[in-house]
Structure 1
Amino acid sequence: MDQIRITKIFSFETGHALYGYDGKCRNVHGHSYKLFVTVIGNPINDSENVKFGMVIDFGDLKKIVKEEIVDVFDHATVFNKNTPHVELAKELSDRGHSVLLVDYQPTSEMMVIYFAEKIKQRLPSGIQLHSLKLQETESSYAEWFAGDN
C-alpha cells in the first residue's frame, strides 16, 4: 500500500532568552510559534476498523502533540538551565509563572530537535515522524527531517 504523509499544525505562545547570545535575543522575549507536524504511514486497510482509510486519526496526533509540546510550552518561559537568568526563573516560578529550565539553548533549532524526540516516543507502531517545522516568526523557521537524522 502507498505511504501517505499527513500534517497537523499547532500554535502556542512561548517566551525565552538566549544565554550568551550577542544580540537582542539575549533578553527575555516571546514568540507566537507554529509547529507543523508531519507523519508518514500506510492508511488502515481494514474496512471493519473505525479508522479505515486513515494513516492516523488527526485527533490522536493532536492528543500526542498537545500533551508533549503545546500543554508544556504554551505561555511558559524557557531558559537554558545554565543561564544567569536562573534567579529570574526562580522568582517567576515562585510567583506562579510557568518556567522551563532545559538542557539546551532554547533556539528554534534546538527546540525542534527536542520536540522530535518527544513526539517519536508516542507515535503508534507503523507511524513514523517524517518532519517538523517550527515557525518562530512570519519569516523564520527551523525544520527537522527524519531522513536527515
Structure 2
Amino acid sequence: MSNIRITKQFSFETGHALYGYDGKCRNVHGHSYKLSVTVIGTPNSDSNHVKFGMVIDFSDLKKIVKEEIVDVFDHATVFNKNTPHVELAKELADRGHNVLLVAYQPTSEMMVIDFAEKIKARLPEGIQLHALKLQETATSYAEWFASENK
C-alpha cells in the first residue's frame, strides 16, 4: 500500500527573549506561532478496524501535539536556562506566570528541533514524523524534515 502524508496545524502564543542577541529580539516579546505537523505512514487496511483507511486519526495526532507542545508552550515565556534573564524568569514565575527554562536558545530553529524530538517519541509504531513547519510571523518560519535529520 502507498505511503501517505497527513498534516495537522496548531497555533499557540509564546513569549521569549534571545540571550546575547544583537538586535531587538534580545528583549522579551511574543509571537502567534503556527505549527504544521506532517506524519507519514500507510493507511490502516483492516476493514474491521475502527481506524480503517487512516494513517493516524487526526484526533490522536492532536492529542500528542497538544500535550507535548501546545499545552506546554501556549502563553508561556521561554528563556535559555543560561540567560542573564534568569532573575526576571524567577520573578515572573513567582508572580504566577508560566515560564519555561530550556537548554537552548529559543529561536524558531531550535524550538522546531525540540518539538520534533518530543513528537517522534510519542508517535505509534509504523508512523513517522515527516516534517514540521514552525511559523513565527506571517513571513518567517523554520522547517524540519526527517529526511535531512537521520
Q: For each residue in 1:80-133, what CA deviation from the matched residue of structure 2 results, as whole angstroms up to 9, or x when unmatched?
A: 001111000000000000000000000000000000000000000000000000
Does residue 75 (structure 1) correspond to residue 75 (structure 2)? The answer is yes
**1:29 to partner: Cα distance:** 0.1
Rounded to whole Å, the distance in 2 between the matches of 1:4 and 1:106 is 32
Cα deviation for residue 68 of structure 1 reads: 0.1
TM-score normalised by L of structure 2? 0.99
Q: Which residue of 2 aligns with 1:84?
A: 84
Are residue 56 (structure 1) and residue 59 (structure 2) matched?
A: no
Give distance in 1, aligned partners of 2:31 and 2:72. 15
State the alpha-carbon separation in 2 of the partners of residues 97 and 25 from structure 1. Answer: 20
TM value normalised by structure 1: 1.00
Match runs of 1:104-123 below 5 Å: 104-123=104-123
SS of 1:88's equivalent in the other structure is helix
User: How many residue pairs align between the two structures?
Assistant: 149
Structure 1 residue matching 2:121: 3-state secondary structure: helix
Which runs of 5 or more structure 2 residues have no equivalent in the other structure? none
The CA deviation string for residues 19-67 of structure 1, in whole angstroms up to 9 with x for no partner, is 0000000000000000000000000000000000000000000000000
d(CA) in 2 for partners of 1:61, 1:5: 13
AA in 1 matched with 2:36? F
Which residue of structure 1 aligns with residue 45 of structure 2?
45
Q: What is the root-mean-square deviation in Å for CA atoms of aligned residues? A: 0.2
CA distance in 1, matches of 2:42, 2:29: 41
Report the counterpart of residue 99 of structure 1 in structure 2.
99
Over the matched positions of the two proteins, sequence identity in percent amounts to: 86
Shift of 1:139: 0.1
Distance 1:23 1:85 in 2: 16
SS in 1 for 2:90: helix
Letter paired with 1:64: I
Q: Give me the whole-angstrom Cα distance separating, in 2, the residues matched to 1:82 and 1:126.
A: 38
